[in-house]
Amino acid sequence: MATPKSYEDFKQTLTESVPPVDWPEALKAMWFAGSDNWEASHDIAQDMFNTMGSWIHAYLHRVEGDKFNAGYWYRKAGKSYPNMSLEEEHQKITEYLLNN
């Protein structure tokens, strides 16, 4: 399956049982997050040793409700703690990945 062109296209893939194997790891992490599979998403994010991995990692700890740990990862990503819903942040990260 090709990489989605939009967030709406991405959301339609969440009905599948797994993300496409040829997607970038960061997009797979967001797919698992969107599929309510926190563990699988976290497993990917914690093995991404870059700013994007830190941003996804921060988001996941925010989902988990661990504000302290999320704050650490947002700082590592060079981002401030967001003032938006989890759904809005999921969309923001995913759209960033789709467009960059």
Burial classification of residue 17, based on how many CB atoms lie within 10 Å of its CB (0-12 exposed, 13-18 middle, 19 or more buried): exposed
Number of structural domains (the chain) is 1
State residue 26's pLDDT score. 98
Tens of each residue's pLDDT in the chain, 100 residues: 789 999 999 999 999 999 999 999 999 999 999 999 999 999 999 999 999 999 999 999 999 999 999 999 999 999 999 999 999 999 999 999 999 9
- Please give the pLDDT value at position 38: 98
pTM score, two decimals?
Answer: 0.96
Q: Is residue 15 part of a domain?
A: no
pLDDT at 2: 84
Amino acid code (one letter) for 88: E
**Is the residue at 75 inside a domain?**
yes
6 in any annotated domain? no
